[in-house]
Structure 1
């Protein structure tokens, strides 16, 4: 009997995996082809601008595609599809299955840090409808390109150490932070107070304020996605992006991965992306998705994973001491 039940569950999981995986694979392949073309066009334009000789320009094209890392691309894209599919199924089917047990703890930690609930601070700093509407757009529709960062790295050919560190960190972050840690520290987030945890009183003021702001925002994506996630939770569906979990914040993880990569490319880019990541962090609190400590844990763990993988993949080369450099310089002399 137990074997029959296990086999049935395995069959159900496989059906879900194939259905959801097909959706992810189809969308990923379309985006991958678009990024391949975009990378080629950009590289071609740069080549034509910098070209100083009269060599055959078609020779550059032949060399570009002859040395294209097809195997690396296939492995990278396959890893992305498998990771995102399993992450969604795990998030929707495992996390919160026994209830969301840590919301009160994280809410109390926020109060210990800020002296009050963190969302009160953000709504004090940004009280206008226009600010919330902008935050809503930045956190939802405008954030989707951040998911494409992995595909940019997979289809590009420059900065191999940064690209490989980003891609491996992305996958490891989803496995460790988004799945294992999220399940161990299961929490739903303030906006689900009274629906998935608690009695609905602790964050009633936040929910009421968001409901009021929604009346003046033509398309409030936060409310739309919150209802979508709840509907999937009730029906036990595993649709695109389904599953509810707050700690740690994967939005902050993805934004901060861009930040870490940005600092290795250029200092100005690093500063811009740092501001962006902090803003995403605050917005996640402002819209009731997350506690402040969700982002804190996300940044700490993402930094640790990035550094460890970066060291292993050659992104952080050991600095040479002055005597070593001097000895090498003398050795290099004829």
Structure 2
């Protein structure tokens, strides 16, 4: 008589798709290292990238240490030590997959300008202005923020640290807190769609630097108003201004440290915020409003800071939402085949 595994000994939900994520990230990293080695001639990039990515991930997790400790305490109380220990192995694997994925993403992103020149900025800037009644979106947002007294520099931490936990660490959060294998699989696919697909493949097709670097790239004064607005808001003298200056220096020097690559279209910040909002909406209807507000805040600051054209975020929202809708649809089978599946005995189909 066969025994049914107990809940304690059973594999945690989502373990199988998370294993597939690990295999994908290993292949993705191998491709990134090969690409960077061939194009840049720097085969030793990998170890420095992984060390810096681990340091950044440790910083993000440390920033959320209190929340994560509370979540662990609740998990121990609700599920018990055995189930938490089993899930901890899956969480450890997800953490390693995140580090490998982000390392590969950074290697590819910093290599993209060596493959193609930045070409799409004039077109994106023109589309932005056409979509907003002849105005640049950054100007509209800075005018509104000045009227309501929005403290722009304070949003910088939100745009980076608060965004980073769900945006970068979604597989870790899924492994730790989600028990729906189908939902875990769906959002792991969306996670990969937002990072490698949009952030590398689509970004390479529309390679651009964004409004804040437009004049430096093309030697124009097209976005002189943005420079003045960033100075007036205090952002130019904040940590954001320092990071933007560092990004441009790294670009000119060809540096490849994590986060140093430049590409505006489409916005990975907004894409991953969209994934987060959709996940919250699936978990509970009460989380729809916080998810939408989070997405709007990221979209707002991506434009306000000059990192992105508005169209960068709009396209990201549309593409991620469309991918989510497709992943939620059941497989479309002809009616005759559906009847065969319905009546076939177990093992009857090959």
| Equivalent in the alignment of 2:141 | 122
Q: Which moved more, 1:242-251 or 1:22-31?
A: 22-31
After the TM superposition, which residues 151-300 of structure 1 pair with which residues of structure 2 at under 5 Å, given as runs? 151-196=172-217, 198-214=218-234, 220-300=238-318
Q: How many residues align?
A: 294
Q: Distance in 1 between matches of 2:37 and 2:225?
A: 44
Q: Assess, with a 3 A threshold, how the Cα gap between structure 1 residues 28 and 310 changes in structure 2: closer, same or farther.
A: farther
Gaps of 5+ in 2: 1-34, 334-350
Tell me, yes or no, if the aligned pair for 1:173 and 1:305 is still in contact at 8 Å: no
| Equivalent in the alignment of 1:24 | 53
The alignment yields a C-alpha RMSD, in angstroms, of 3.3
| Equivalent in the alignment of 1:14 | 43
Q: Deviations over 1:115-149 (max 9, x none)?
A: 11111111121116643223333223433333333
Q: Tell me the secondary structure at the aligned position of residue 87 of structure 2.
A: coil
Q: Assess, with a 3 A threshold, how the Cα gap between structure 1 residues 148 and 69 changes in structure 2: closer, same or farther.
A: closer
Q: Distance in 2 between matches of 1:145 and 1:223?
A: 22
Q: Assess, with a 3 A threshold, how the Cα gap between structure 1 residues 199 and 36 changes in structure 2: closer, same or farther.
A: closer
Tell me, yes or no, if the aligned pair for 1:36 and 1:156 is still in contact at 8 Å: no
Q: Distance in 2 between matches of 1:63 and 1:140?
A: 33
Q: Distance in 1 between matches of 2:188 and 2:37?
A: 35
Tell me, yes or no, if the aligned pair for 2:274 and 2:320 is still in contact at 8 Å: yes
Q: Which moved more, 1:19-28 or 1:265-274?
A: 19-28
> TM-score when scaled to structure 1?
0.77
- Given candidates 73, 79, 85, the residue that maps to 1:41 is 73
Q: Which moved more, 1:276-285 or 1:18-27?
A: 18-27
Higher alpha-carbon Rg? 1
Q: Assess, with a 3 A threshold, how the Cα gap between structure 1 residues 306 and 25 changes in structure 2: closer, same or farther.
A: farther
- Given candidates 102, 117, 124, the residue that maps to 1:99 is 117
Q: Assess, with a 3 A threshold, how the Cα gap between structure 1 residues 10 and 206 changes in structure 2: closer, same or farther.
A: closer
- Given candidates 126, 139, 151, the residue that maps to 2:159 is 139
Q: Which moved more, 1:272-281 or 1:163-172?
A: 163-172
Tell me, yes or no, if the aligned pair for 2:118 and 2:207 is still in contact at 8 Å: yes
Gaps of 5+ in 1: 1-5, 48-59, 319-334
Q: Distance in 1 between matches of 2:95 and 2:83?
A: 23
Q: Assess, with a 3 A threshold, how the Cα gap between structure 1 residues 219 and 11 changes in structure 2: closer, same or farther.
A: closer
Q: Distance in 1 between matches of 2:246 and 2:40?
A: 26
| Equivalent in the alignment of 2:108 | 90
